[in-house]
Amino acid sequence: MSPQQPLGPFCQSCSMPLAKPEDFGTSGPGYRVNAYCRFCYRDGAFTDPDVTMEQMIDRCVAIMANRGVMPESRARELLTEVIPRLARWGEPVSQGVLAAAGGRGLTAGDDQC
């Protein structure tokens, strides 16, 4: 697999890239929500409102490692840097942090992050 620079926008809960219309979360009336993926935010609410940031990191690390996106240690290093900066957990992450990661596109949310 060749490395590629991740493209945004990204879910502001799990860092999943939001590349296709079906990737985005939805509001109560069913409209697209631009800040979150469908796995983290559906029908106007977080799908797992009680998940902690640490649990989200663990969940997404496992998904990325299992899908072969990157080794577990690298995924943990990256997500420990990125996830705390996302809107759900703190201040928004910059494109520079994601580009510096050097990994393939982040697909953590693909398995219901």
Which pLDDT tens digit goes with each residue over 6-22? 567 999 999 999 999 99
In a domain, 6, yes or no: no
In a domain, 41, yes or no: yes
The rounded distance, in Å, linking the Cα atoms of 29 and 105 is 30
In a domain, 52, yes or no: yes
For the entire predicted model, the pTM comes to: 0.73
In a domain, 58, yes or no: yes
The rounded distance, in Å, linking the Cα atoms of 43 and 93 is 25
pLDDT in tens, 81-111: 999 999 999 854 455 544 444 433 444 444 4
In a domain, 90, yes or no: yes
In a domain, 4, yes or no: no
Domain range for 104 is 21-111
In a domain, 76, yes or no: yes
Provide the number of structural domains found in the chain.
Answer: 1
